[in-house]
Amino acid sequence: QAPVRQSGGGSVSPGDTVRLSCTASVVATSMYCMAWFRQAPGKERQWVALIDDNGRTDASISVKGRFTISEDNAENTLTLQLSTLKPDDAGMYYCAARAREFDGDCSKVPRGYTDWGRGTQVTVSS
């Protein structure tokens, strides 16, 4: 079983809402970080939002107030709700996870994560 599995996404219109889901085996550990990254064609993978085992969340300025990250510990599921979508929000969304041994800030760069989903495409067009 893959350590990270994703679902959701699709093609939507500007202003619409879409949900992405991710299950990660790392959630079964006591300490972890999980995050969503986005990659547009020809561009680097960029951090979108994160959550840690204490339930602390953070989101990039470009999506703060529009995107919501949450988790269901009973289901080991991470969800990213993307609201009020804009064309610039389009791209391949990746769920990332890693176990950790110490408390502290979770990474906002791709190299800070060890487990990755295959990606979920979100297209925003009118």
Per residue in 59-108, pLDDT (tens digit) is 999 999 999 999 987 778 899 999 999 999 999 999 999 999 888 899 99
pLDDT at 87: 95
Identify the three-state secondary structure at position 41.
coil
Separation between Cα atoms, residue 25 and residue 9, nearest integer Å: 21
∠ CA 57-62-66 to the nearest 5 degrees?
65
Q: What sign does the dihedral 7-87-38-56 (CA atoms) show?
A: negative
Local structure of 73: helix, strand or coil:
coil
As a whole number, the mean pLDDT across the chain is 93
pLDDT of residue 101: 87
Q: How confident is the model at residue 25 (pLDDT cuts 50, 70, 90)?
A: confident
pLDDT band at 1 (very low <50, low <70, confident <90, very high): low
Q: Which residue has the higher pLDDT, 104 or 38?
A: 38
Cα distance between residue 84 and residue 35, in whole Å:
20
